[in-house]
Amino acid sequence: MPEGDTIFRSARALDRALAGRTVTRFETVVATLARGDDQHQLTGRTVERVEARGKWLLIHFSGDLILLTHMLMNGSWHIYRPGEAWRRARRHMRLVIETDEWHAVGFTVPIAEFHTAASLARRGGAVTIGPDLLDEEFNEQQAIAAVLERPSEEIAVVLLNQHVLAGIGNVFKSEICFACGIHPFRRVSSLSRHEAEKLVEVAQRYLKMNVTEDSAEAPTENANARRTTGSLDRSARLWVYGRLGEACRRCGASILMRRQGSEARTTFWCPECQPLNAPAGSQTTEPRAVEGWTRRPRAR
């Protein structure tokens, strides 16, 4: 699933490319959008702005029309100059919004709906999300409270729940727990106040760290560029995610993986750095990679 930072970057790139421009052509294979006259109605409208709300991407057009999209697992938006070759096959195309300067192409976007401001408000549920970690008005205390409201749930499951905190995807979920020294399968009820604060602080920092650079020209799917370790080495960008059996960059223990939650999402952790029964006041400092552990599996 694209993480909140990916959606945020997509929205920003689309906003830079499209805002203020007039739609010259619209094409879609999404049945719900192709219905009626919607596609004709889009042509001639001006793109007012593009925004991310958690994992939802909203394109606002003049005359109270909003295109709501969600990427789920494999969706992505690309931006191309007219005539430029697409980097994904045409069969994956779901939507094309053309202006004279830029073409925005939505690939394998599974959810796409047209709304007015009123119908979007009525839709409720699915776009009702928790505090957005990338929102400028993000309220840390409110976010901590939202996490602590779910004492019986496993910590990593709560981090992934967009109704609690908006923006954390499956990669960052594991990375945030590692950075905090917190076992992802612990219950929220076992969290100290300090640990809850740390989780929220690290979550916000990791997401922000990953939205710093972008350009309208670049394809907006950027999952492979995600990083948390601060390392410039492309092979050492993440602490634990995707590293089953490899050596922990901090202590050298073998990274573990288990499926977690009702959706059986993969969760990675270090059994040494993230003990299941964390004694009170355990690791509170940010992990630092130890030279030599980066690539070498642990010798047993």
Query: By the criterion CB under 5 A, which residues form the site for Zn ion?
Result: 248, 250-251, 253, 270, 272-273
Q: Cα-flanking dihedrals φ and ψ of residue 50, to 5°?
A: -125, 130
Of the candidates 122, 115, 123, which has an alpha carbon nearest to the alpha carbon of residue 59?
A: 115
Of 9, 12, 53, 55, the active-site residue reads: 55
| 3-state SS class at 33 | helix
Least distance between Zn ion and beta carbon 244 (Å): 14
Judged by beta carbon, residue 107 or residue 293, the one nearer Zn ion is 293
Of 16, 49, 187, 265, the active-site residue reads: 265
Least distance between Zn ion and beta carbon 230 (Å): 16
Q: Rounded to an integer, what distance in angstroms lies between the CA atom of residue 267 and that of residue 171?
A: 8
Angle between helices 4-18 and 193-209 (to 10 degrees): 40
Angle between helices 193-209 and 170-180 (to 10 degrees): 130
| Residue closest to Zn ion, measured at CB | 248
Task: Give catalytic status of residue 219 as yes or no.
Answer: no
Backbone CA torsion sign across 60, 218, 212, 230: positive
Least distance between Zn ion and beta carbon 270 (Å): 3
Judged by beta carbon, residue 109 or residue 176, the one nearer Zn ion is 176
Judged by beta carbon, residue 18 or residue 247, the one nearer Zn ion is 247
Least distance between Zn ion and beta carbon 245 (Å): 13
8 A C-beta contact, residue 2 and residue 71: yes
Q: Rounded to an integer, what distance in angstroms lies between the CA atom of residue 9 and that of residue 51?
A: 10
Least distance between Zn ion and beta carbon 229 (Å): 13
Number of H helices, E strands in the chain: 8, 10
Judged by beta carbon, residue 22 or residue 294, the one nearer Zn ion is 294
Q: Rounded to an integer, what distance in angstroms lies between the CA atom of residue 35 and that of residue 216?
A: 30
8 A C-beta contact, residue 228 and residue 172: yes
Task: Give catalytic status of residue 2 as yes or no.
Answer: yes
Judged by beta carbon, residue 235 or residue 262, the one nearer Zn ion is 235
- The residues annotated as belonging to the active site are 2-3, 55, 265
